[in-house]
Amino acid sequence: MDGQGLLFAAIWGGALLLWLAFLAFYDGLRRPLRRDEIDAFLATLGPRMGETGNDSARLRAFLEADDGREFVMLNLVRTRPGPVTDPASGETREGSEWLRRYSDPFVRGLIARGGHPLFVGRKVGGYIDAWNTAEDPGWSLVGTMRYRSRRDLVRMASDPAFREVHPNKSLGIESTFSFPTQRQVAFYASPRVTMFLLLMLAAALTHIAVLTFGWGGTA
């Protein structure tokens, strides 16, 4: 193989290796949580679950059913209207600003662990279709967040940096509920496909540039 052939092999082989590295990061090892990991995590929560009206038994059941796969958390949020004062610091900000002070570090931490937002949108109308459900409390936002695994959820919730900004969530949110889901049907290209196409496009453009400018010698 001549110099140009070696260069082509490096271009396409490098693109493939980068995609495989991305898959390894994006999907992780898919190891279900162990019982001792779950026990240790729940012990760190103390009374926080009950204080916020949540059920630790429900969280335990979700973690114990871990299959190691990705999941998507659906979130409905009602932000606090008007200025809100932090009783600890005395600082006053709009409820939406307190929420951003929580959500920005949260999203950065999620991305660092292979997760990411799928969709975030603001509400533009009341319930159009509602059967046997409570009255709309005035939701402000809806968001769906992709988690690489339930282990990543545990690691995020245990991270001291996350716990440091968590009080901003209570200051910015008046009411919320979230529940985990797993995809059944989706009409969009996943990041796995998107990254593959981008890397193949970059490799193809580089290949064309090599042919155009004669880099690496004559084929």
Do 195 and 123 have their domain in common?
no
Same domain, 208 and 144: no
Please indicate, yes or no, if residue 52 is contained in any of the structural domains. Answer: no
Q: Which amino acid is at 137?
A: P
Task: Return the pLDDT at 188.
Answer: 84
Both 17 and 113 in one domain: the answer is no
Q: Which long-range contacts (CB under 8 A, 24 or more apart) does 134-142 make?
A: 137/78, 137/175, 138/78, 139/76, 139/77, 139/78, 140/77, 140/78, 140/79, 141/75, 141/76, 141/77, 141/79, 142/74, 142/75, 142/76, 142/77
97 shares its domain with 123: yes
Question: Is the pLDDT at 23 greater than 90, yes or no?
Answer: yes
pTM of the predicted model as reported, rounded to 2 decimal places? 0.90
Averaged pLDDT, 56-84: 95
Report if residue 61 sits inside a domain. Answer: no
Predicted confidence band at 45 (pLDDT cuts at 50, 70, 90)? confident
Query: Are residue 122 and residue 160 in the same domain, yes or no?
Result: yes
Q: Is residue 58 part of a domain?
A: no
Asked if residue 155 and residue 94 are part of one domain, the reply reads yes
Q: Is residue 38 part of a domain?
A: no
Residue in the structure block whose two tokens are 């979130």: 75
Q: Is the pLDDT of residue 50 over 50?
A: yes
Task: Tell whether 174 and 202 lie within a shared domain.
Answer: no
Same domain, yes or no, for 172 and 91? yes
Is the Cβ–Cβ distance between 144 and 119 less than 8 Å? yes
pLDDT of residue 3: 79
When pLDDT is averaged across residues 52-70 and rounded to a whole number, the result is 91
For 101, phi then psi, to 5°, come to -65, -20
Bridge partners, 71 (sequence order): 147
Alpha helices in the chain, H assignment, sequence order = 3-27, 35-45, 48-51, 56-64, 95-112, 150-158, 160-172, 191-213
User: Which residues are 173's β-sheet partners?
Assistant: 79
Per-residue confidence (pLDDT) for residue 217, from 0 to 100: 65
Same domain, 199 and 130: no
Phi, psi at residue 173, to the nearest 5°? -115, 125
Mean pLDDT calculated for residue range 177-194 = 91
- State the average pLDDT over residues 115-120: 96
- Domain containing residue 110: CATH number: 3.30.70.100
pLDDT of 53 strictly over 50: yes
> Looking at residues 195-211, what average pLDDT do you find?
96
> What domain range is 82 assigned to?
70-181
> Is residue 219 scored above 50 in pLDDT?
no
Q: Encode pLDDT of 145-181 as tens digits.
A: 999 999 999 999 999 999 899 999 999 999 999 999 9
pLDDT tens for residues 93-115? 999 999 999 999 999 999 999 99
| 209 and 176 housed in the same domain | no
Same domain, 116 and 175: yes
Give the count of domains, the chain: 2
